[in-house]
Amino acid sequence: MLQSLIKNVWIPLKPYYTQVYQEIWVGMGLMSVIIYKIRSADKRSKALKASSPAPAHGHH
Amino acid sequence: MMGLPIVIIITMFPSIMFPSPTRLINNRLISIQQWLVQLTSKQMLSIHNQKGQTWALMLMSLILFIGSTNLLGLLPHSFTPTTQLSLNLGMAIPLWAGTVITGFRHKTKASLAHFLPQGTPLPLIPMLIIIETISLFIQPMALAVRLTANITAGHLLIHLIGGATLALMNISTITAMVTFTILVLLTILEFAVALIQAYVFTLLVSLYLHDNT
């Protein structure tokens, strides 16, 4: 069933996915790198905030 | 964790409204949609050359998606995915990066030449290159934030003015004026379709400038 669906989507759109949208795939990779950086920075700051229970008011 | 799958289903919902044509002559709904799509695509792709017209499918899908989600968001108590900055950034960044990389790949010298307009005096050149680079990198941010802010602001205004009308219902005469303001605002807001026109048009201009020159 899945294979027949891929046959309905992939076969008609193969030139788009392989040739026309090459640069868009690169752009999606760039976007995923940005998302990964933001998520890891957020996790790091949350872990830092959780591991230091002393309230620090004036840290710059 | 429970909310995430449902928002995917909500985002995919407007595609149900566009059945795909199966026969040579379809029923009225599909014929009307086909005519509208052909009208829009002819208008939009007329300024591109052959290389740019390979993006026709992407641009038409974009305008249909943003238009349908914005219009469905005008119904009361509905959720509009385009009010979330994450979705708009997810649309803007890959498409803008695609146009820039296309320009650099196929016309490297012309793409680099965009950073320096013609006829600038010699001392101003470093400053101008910095300004042009900044204006290039701000393009995806501007695309995403423009769409988010416009749709969110419209929804917020409708909420506030509707709430004010309800609160003023006990005091007459003012209610009539406020209700009329709501009506006019909603009609103007139905130019959310004009906004997606602006979105796709801006994306289109970017594609045109980077790809074809």
Long-range contacts of residues B120-126, Cβ cutoff 8 Å, at least 24 apart? none
pLDDT of amino acid B164: 79
pLDDT of amino acid B2: 60
pLDDT of amino acid B16: 92
3-state secondary structure of A58: coil
- How far is the C-alpha of B63 from the C-alpha of B201, rounded, in Å? 9
Q: Is the ipTM of this complex over 0.90?
A: no
Instruction: Chain A: give the shortest CA distance to residue B94, in Å.
Output: 4
3-state secondary structure of A53: coil
CA geometry: angle at B202 spanning B39 and B213, to 5°? Answer: 95
Contact status, residue B70 vs residue B193, Cβ threshold 8 Å: yes
Instruction: Chain B: give the shortest CA distance to residue A32, in Å.
Output: 9
Token pair 């108590």: residue? B77
B90 contact residues in A (CB cutoff 8 A): 31
| Residue B59 one-letter amino acid | L
User: Average per-residue pLDDT in chain B?
Assistant: 83
**Could you give the count of Cα atoms lying within 13 Å of A37 in the half-sphere of its Cβ?**
6
Contact status, residue B133 vs residue B115, Cβ threshold 8 Å: yes
Verify whether the Cβ–Cβ distance A28 to B94 is below 8 Å. yes
**Where residue A38 falls among pLDDT bands split at 50, 70, 90?**
very high
Verify whether the Cβ–Cβ distance B89 to A27 is below 8 Å. no
A24 contact residues in B (CB cutoff 8 A): 58, 94-95, 97-98
Nearest by CB to B93, from A21, A23, A30: name it.
A30
* pLDDT higher than 60, residue B168: yes
B99 vs A: CB within 8 A: yes
* pLDDT higher than 70, residue A53: yes
Per-residue pLDDT tens digits for B6-15: 888 899 999 9
Q: What is the pTM of this model?
A: 0.85
Per-residue pLDDT tens digits for B140-163: 898 888 888 888 888 888 888 888
A30 vs B: CB within 8 A: yes
Per-residue pLDDT tens digits for A2-15: 888 888 888 888 99
Greater confidence (B7 vs B30) lies with B30
Instruction: Chain B: give the shortest CA distance to residue A25, in Å.
Output: 7
**Domain segments of chain B as ranges:** 6-212
Contact status, residue B198 vs residue B67, Cβ threshold 8 Å: no
CA geometry: angle at A44 spanning A39 and A46, to 5°? Answer: 95
Instruction: Chain B: give the shortest CA distance to residue A38, in Å.
Output: 12
